[in-house]
Amino acid sequence: MRRFLRSGHDPSRERLKRDLFQFNKTVEHGFPHQPSALGYSPSLRLLAIGTRSGAVKLYGAPGVEFMGLHRENNAVVQVCFLPGQCQLITLLDDNSLHLWSLKVKGGVSELQEDESFTLRGPPGAAPSATQITVVLPHSSCKMLYLGTESGNVFAVQVPGFRALEDRAISSDAVLQRLPEEARQRRVFEMVEALQEHPRDPNQVLIGYSRGLIVVWDLRGSRVLCHFLSSQQLDSVCWQRDGRLIVSCHSDGSYCQWAVSADTQPLEPVRSCVPYGPFPCKAITKIFWLTTKQGLPFTIFQGGMPRASYGDRHCISVVHNGQQTAFDFTSRVIDFTVLSEVDPAAAFDDPCALVVLAEEELVVIDLQTAGWPQVQPPYLASLHCSAITCSHHVSNIPLKLWERIIAAGSCQNTHFSPMEWPIDGGTSLAPTPPQRDLLLTGHEDGTVRFWDASGVCLRLLYKLSTVHVFFTDSDPSEHLGAQGEDEWPPLRKVGSFDPYSDDPRLGIQKIFLCKYSGYLAVAGTAGQVLVLELNDEAAEHSVEQAEADLLQEQEGYRWKGHERLCARPGPVRFEPGFQPFVLVQCQPPAVVTSLALHSEWRLVAFGTSHGFGLFDHQQRRQVFVKCTLHPSDQLALEGPLSRVKSLKKSLRQSFRRIRRSRVSSRKRRPAGPAGETQEGGARAERAGLQNMELAPVQRKIEARTAEDSFTGFVRTLYFADTYLRDSSRHCPSLWAGTNGGTVYAFALRVPPAERRADEPVRAEQAKEIQLMHRAPVVGILVLDGRGVPLPEPLEVAHDLSKSPDMQGGHQLLVVSEEQFKVFTLPKVSAKLKLKLTALEGSRVRRVSAAHFGSCRAEDYGEHHLAVLTNLGDIQVVSLPLLKPQVRYSCIRREDVSGIASCVFTRHGQGFYLISPSEFERFSLSTKWLVEPRCLVDSAETKNHSRPRNGSGPEKGWGRARNSGSQSDGEERSPGTVMEHALLNDERVLKEIQSTLEGDRRSYGDWRSQQVAMRTRLSCCHSPSFRSGVSGPRVQAAR
């Protein structure tokens, strides 16, 4: 009987599952980890970044993104576009060349690898003979010139990668054609620079590392002219008209050489060491760019005085007597300058400097005075300070969204007003159907608010909690660093700053209520801040309270860090989220769980010692509960002693190994001397072998109540449910611990009119001990229909059906090992799914999500999205707990990826694939945010033409559907405010204003967005807009 009831055998259910679930990794947000190469196509206006793991990423206009991965996981050394083509060449560190192209398929461009090639030298030649140092794609697009370590330049035909031996320029050939006097020195060695004449495709400039530069005539196979520098050559640059060559050298100098066919210059026109006279580091790359005004831009990398500034990563810009050395926060990988594209134009007129540093991309506006930075719409450095936690909030009300953007714009005044200059390609992705926020907490005590609605993860606002506390860092230090006549004229640029002043400031948990604008943030030293969004800057003091979670526990010694010291008195806060309550847990252990209920004005927090509830309206502690087990020594002593014990155990294990070696030697029977020695050696060998071959062992032991860290509070949950009896529901707080215990407290929240006077009361109503004692990772109450209870204020906003308070509520407790449903109010076990017992995987993260069907407009189901310790993602049905689908998502070894995973309410998720990148994935067929873009080489010929989204329409069908469907869901019946427990007038007003905000036409919101200098490219096409705004208006009605 049961066999037939199992979901796997029901064809209609299988069909439905296909409509509901689909797994895709859609887009990578953030900055590529370990970038190793930069390329730019002036004609396509696309930026290419290669990484050490063999990925190539292309970026154009916001939303235009491509990703390719080499089959070989070798580092990309160089990326260059074929001039004017939708093709690019990559050089890997295994000396292989790869040709990639952007091909249009189904109306969308795709990046794919066409072919690869490895240069082969004559048999017997040293491998360095073919080791490629420079790649020059010839403007004819048929040839690649490859400079090598041997000094030879090879010619290869593309596509096809056929080596043309007759076109190769060997160093011998060059030597023969040089005049007698230039041949005397060993001038060759490897090819450092290879450049085509900007006007004449038949001339190529070859620079050799020993300092010889020749201009080679491709057709006549002769040296047109040569320049001999006394210093090692690093790079060269033609002036736009080809009359001047600028070379830069390893001693920190650069030289200008006049090119003329008639006279052979022996000396440079000008030679200069910009940061002399003391020894300088090499200038590794130089740009010489002309302007209409006459004075050229000189932009070069490096050249800093070796002794005092040799460790800086600098790019200097010199123009018109102004000189600035941009000081980057990490090593500069490469840089390029965006300038006039038209080859016929007389001047370069550079507009922007694009610098790829190891940890961030910096673009500097060269047209605006002062050369300010341009804020990139993508490639954000997520890891400016290490990410410690993340929190996703779906479907932000417009009002809150605008206020956050407004707060953020006050912080971005130092950015240039320039439009994002890299704007190639057309994004065909539909406008995101809703506004999503991703909040990341960082080690330095900041919370960053990211716009996660679309393909571009864009920083909206940055909140710092540092000002609340006294820290070691002295703010005046930063101000003093910049003097007036400092030489070299250094200027710090970039935001990457991994050095935290105080690790205790780190953010561990975030909880944002999107309706009320209340935010709770908790950190490493047990600090819990409640913040409120304020549009004005304000100066006020933060209410402080201490929560003693140990209460009357005896024999306690906390050996961990001290708690943070809060600033007394009023503190000035920027517009944005401003803290008004600070609760500090005692002992100051890391806050491990946090929940905020904006309707009841309560915040709950838990650490490894217990949990507490705080009334942030009355600024009063409601209760604390200690969850410690008396024998839990580790939690009692704090994190430091844990480190010590680990050290100790390591030391012990080493001792044990040593002892066992010694004893095995001793045990040898005394025999003839030789035999003993041999035996001893054998024993040692055997011991070594044993040590090496000793397999990994795992101890099988049932969990006991005495395990350490059982009191660790893993999850906190507010619910309005039937806790005590089935006739009356009441507010409740649920807490789950690492030891498999669930506590339930009945709360009495006074009605609104007496909310400010009467205290909130709490009383423990239930305690459930799961016998398998696995950590409780999720608690959820399901209503009479088996649907999770909505978030506070959600029903009031008419965004969710009001919960069914008639039928019996059920409690879902998710431990690492099992899912269990209990009835309420009388707790009896109803259903369970023993995940670990069956699969050996354990639940790491769980979240309720709504899955819409891609076929039926209004059909959707609530399920649990589950991430296991094996990196698998599963969907488990509610309320029957049947596994639906399983996809492997993250490598099981990728612990930080698994730990960082966060699910959205609509079946999407994010996890960190590197410290700086979020991978976005989707389990839903309906909610899919992925780049869909078109790059057309024909279109780029006239890139200034306003794009009007004339891209193919067929790709949009599904996407547009999704927009209207989501609105349809919002439209779901349910009388406004009927079920809301709204008794606060202010909240009511707020909600009303938000609803009105939502009702405003889509155009308003768009113009707002444009004002924020974001570009959504084709999405602004009239036809598309009407497609989206239609249902939206309907929804508002």
Residues that bind other proteins (CB under 8 A): 1-3, 5, 695-703, 764-772, 774, 817-818, 820, 822-823, 827-832, 834, 836-842, 869-870, 880-882, 892
Task: State CA 364 to chain mean position distance.
Answer: 22
For the CB of residue 45, give the shortest distance to other proteins in the complex, in Å: 48
Among 283, 274, 239, residue whose Cα is nearest residue 258: 239
For the CB of residue 26, give the shortest distance to other proteins in the complex, in Å: 28
For the CB of residue 694, give the shortest distance to other proteins in the complex, in Å: 9
For the CB of residue 543, give the shortest distance to other proteins in the complex, in Å: 32
Q: What are the DSSP calls for 14-27, one per residue?
A: HHHHHHHEEEEEEE
Among 832, 818, 722, 744, residue whose Cα is nearest residue 776: 818
Angle between helices 1002-1011 and 398-411 (to 10 degrees): 10
For the CB of residue 166, give the shortest distance to other proteins in the complex, in Å: 53
For residue 35, whether the previous peptide bond is cis, meaning omega lies within 30 degrees of 0, is no
**Residue closer to other proteins, measured from CB, 555 or 695:** 695
For the CB of residue 16, give the shortest distance to other proteins in the complex, in Å: 16
Q: Which two tokens stand for residue 108?
A: 């969308």
Label each residue of 559-581 as H, E or C: CCCCCCCECCCCEEECCEEEEEE
Among 404, 290, 374, 283, residue whose Cα is nearest residue 332: 283
**Residue closer to other proteins, measured from CB, 1 or 938:** 1
Question: Within 13 Å, how many C-alpha atoms sit on residue 325's CB side?
Answer: 21
- Residues 983 and 752 sit within 8 Å (Cβ to Cβ): yes
Count of residues in the chain: 1037
Q: Which two tokens stand for residue 539?
A: 């100066």
For the CB of residue 698, give the shortest distance to other proteins in the complex, in Å: 4
Strand order in the sheet with 593-597: 593-597, 602-606, 610-615, 620-626
**Residue closer to other proteins, measured from CB, 352 or 723:** 723
Q: Which two tokens stand for residue 632?
A: 């839990």
**Residue closer to other proteins, measured from CB, 468 or 787:** 787
**Residue closer to other proteins, measured from CB, 142 or 862:** 862
For the CB of residue 835, give the shortest distance to other proteins in the complex, in Å: 8
Q: How far is CA 659 from CA 652, 655, 697, 767, in A?
A: 10, 6, 21, 49
Segment holding 40, helix H or strand E: strand 35-41
**Residue closer to other proteins, measured from CB, 823 or 992:** 823
Among 315, 305, 257, residue whose Cα is nearest residue 284: 315
**Residue closer to other proteins, measured from CB, 344 or 700:** 700
**Residue closer to other proteins, measured from CB, 159 or 808:** 808
For the CB of residue 746, give the shortest distance to other proteins in the complex, in Å: 9
- Residues 781 and 766 sit within 8 Å (Cβ to Cβ): no
- Rounded CA-CA distance 226/571 in Å is 67
**Residue closer to other proteins, measured from CB, 801 or 842:** 842
Segment holding 214, helix H or strand E: strand 212-217
**Residue closer to other proteins, measured from CB, 741 or 994:** 741
- Rounded CA-CA distance 713/694 in Å is 37
For the CB of residue 724, give the shortest distance to other proteins in the complex, in Å: 8
Among 497, 510, 496, 491, residue whose Cα is nearest residue 379: 496
Contact partners, residue 324, CB within 8 Å, separation at least 6: 316, 317, 371, 489, 491
For the CB of residue 625, give the shortest distance to other proteins in the complex, in Å: 12
**Residue closer to other proteins, measured from CB, 562 or 767:** 767
- Rounded CA-CA distance 104/811 in Å is 51
- Rounded CA-CA distance 322/121 in Å is 48
Query: What single DSSP character describes residue 591?
Result: P
**Residue closer to other proteins, measured from CB, 821 or 1019:** 821
**Residue closer to other proteins, measured from CB, 580 or 822:** 822
Segment holding 968, helix H or strand E: helix 956-970
For the CB of residue 842, give the shortest distance to other proteins in the complex, in Å: 6
**Residue closer to other proteins, measured from CB, 472 or 701:** 701
- Residues 492 and 364 sit within 8 Å (Cβ to Cβ): no
For the CB of residue 745, give the shortest distance to other proteins in the complex, in Å: 11
**Residue closer to other proteins, measured from CB, 807 or 1003:** 807
b (16+ CB within 10 A) / e for 791-826: bbbbbbbbbbbbbeeeeebbbbbbbbbbbbbbbbbe
For the CB of residue 844, give the shortest distance to other proteins in the complex, in Å: 12
For the CB of residue 829, give the shortest distance to other proteins in the complex, in Å: 5
